[in-house]
Amino acid sequence: MSLHDFIYMFISSVAALFPVMNPISSGLIVNGFLEGVDDSQRKSFIKRIIVNCLLVGIGSLVVGHLILLLFGLAVPVIQLGGGIVICKAGLEWLSDTPITKTEKVQDTVSRINIEDVESRLFSPISFPISLGPGSISVIFTLMASASVKGNLLNTSINYLMISLAIVVLLFILYLFLSQGTKLIKKLGASGNMIINKMVAFITFCIGIQIIVTGIARIFHLEIL
């Protein structure tokens, strides 16, 4: 394989992962969980979220083959299950009722709220909101196409390109989380709510897309 092939693997990995990871919309949603948290605590939470996502993403890539073999799972089944979970999350975000400003202030200044956010850092904030089953199913799909039979070096470099794509997308997520307070202030409460609802709807549609893709691959159909 040439350098061009490895660059293509990186670009295609970013293109495949971006719609499902969607660091921009994920950043807006996660900022809702971190609203009212002081700056030092916020920075600590953001770092832990990025580390959690990195461990889940790279871990899925490293042990993906083992998981599929151990449980006898096929990539289309992972896509189907991941799509259902994403649809469920999208529906929950769409049906969420925003609380009033007074309630927000009372909640966010309390220690209970800090502990509540801390307990949610891995689930659901890191997984599945920031990096969910849909992303893992795409990583598994990329992993399958990255394997070069009989050439461990090329396979390893392809895996490195996928890992680099995950790091790049998480860096974008980090930027949106670190600048989230400024962005939310500019948007205002109503603007932030509208964007969150739009993101929730897009998330639901992404879940449907992954479900349809999984069904098409299972039954060898050409739906889309």
Identity of the residue numbered 19: P
pTM of the model: 0.73
Identity of the residue numbered 167: V
What is the predicted pLDDT for the residue at 167?
A: 97
Cis bond upstream, residue 128 (ω within 30): yes
What is the predicted pLDDT for the residue at 62?
A: 87
What is the predicted pLDDT for the residue at 48?
A: 95
DSSP 99: P
Closest by Cα among 222, 174, 210 to 16: 210
Cα angle 55, 49, 106; round to 5: 155
The CA distance from 202 to 166, in Å, is 21
Residues of the chain with pLDDT under 70: 1, 96-113, 184, 192, 199, 224
Q: Give the count of beta carbons closer than 10 Å to the beta carbon of residue 34.
A: 20
Residue owning tokens 């993403």 = 57
The CA distance from 76 to 67, in Å, is 14
pLDDT tens digit string along 167-202? 999 999 999 898 877 776 777 777 767 877 876 787
Q: With contact defined as beta carbons under 8 Å apart, do 90 and 26 qualify?
A: no
pLDDT tens digit string along 86-99? 788 778 778 865 54
What is the predicted pLDDT for the residue at 224?
A: 63
What is the predicted pLDDT for the residue at 57?
A: 95
What is the predicted pLDDT for the residue at 96?
A: 65
Question: Which residue ranges form the domains of the chain, and what is each CATH number?
Answer: 3-218 (1.20.1250)
Identity of the residue numbered 86: I
What is the predicted pLDDT for the residue at 97?
A: 57
With both helix axes pointing from N to C terminus, report the angle between 152-178 and 3-21 in degrees, rounded to the nearest 10. 40
Q: Which two structure tokens, joined as six digits, stand for 61?
A: 């890539």
For residues 30, 166, 198, 34, the Cα torsion angle rounded to the nearest 10 degrees is 10
Q: Give the count of beta carbons closer than 10 Å to the beta carbon of residue 132.
A: 24
Both ends of the chain: CA-CA distance in Å?
A: 31
Q: Which two structure tokens, joined as six digits, stand for 185?
A: 């202030």
Q: Which two structure tokens, joined as six digits, stand for 224?
A: 């889309």
What is the predicted pLDDT for the residue at 90?
A: 76
Based on the number of CB atoms within 10 Å of its own CB, is 154 exposed (0-12), middle (13-18) or buried (19 or more)?
middle
